[in-house]
Amino acid sequence: MPFTPVAKVEDIPVGERKRFDLGGKRITVFNIDGELLAILDTCPHKKTAPLVRGTLDGEGIKCPNHGYRFDLRTGVCNVGERWNTKVFEVKVENGEVLIGI
Ligand code: FES
């Protein structure tokens, strides 16, 4: 899986999030207690809502529109598997954040 550099580590401090356009997708990276987790930004429910504007719930993100929750590690939706979404591998090398896509 190719990894693409998207930012410096310091661009996404603990508790923050940042969205990137990558490979025709919008992907948001969350910094949860120092761990970087990436998820497809577009909510699969109506395919428009940006999860970057959602509310963090532990290691999940709640969509700003209807509140469906997506696990940031697995993409699993709490409402039903038909709404499960995609997560991406993230790694840090030489101070850079890379997303696998
Ligand atoms: S658009 Fe995200 S939960 Fe409805």
Q: Tell me the fold of 3-100.
A: Rieske Iron-sulfur Protein (2.102.10)
Per-domain residue ranges for the chain? 3-100
Q: Which of 26, 28, 41, 45 to mutate to test the pocket of ligand 1 (most atoms within 8 A of CB)?
A: 45
**Binding site membership of 66 for ligand 1 (Cβ less than 6 Å):** yes
Asked if 77 and 86 touch (Cβ cutoff 8 Å), the reply is no
CA 94, chain centre distance (Å): 21
Using CA atoms, how far apart are residues 30 and 75, in angstroms rounded to an integer? 13
- pLDDT tens digits along 59-90: 999 999 999 999 999 999 999 999 999 999 99
pLDDT band at 2 (very low <50, low <70, confident <90, very high): very high
Nearest residue by C-alpha to atom 3 in ligand 1: 66
* CA-49 nearest atom, ligand 1: 1
Q: What predicted TM-score, i.e. pTM, was given to this entire model? A: 0.96
pLDDT digits 0-9 by tens, 6-57? 999 999 999 999 999 998 999 999 999 999 999 999 999 999 899 999 999 9
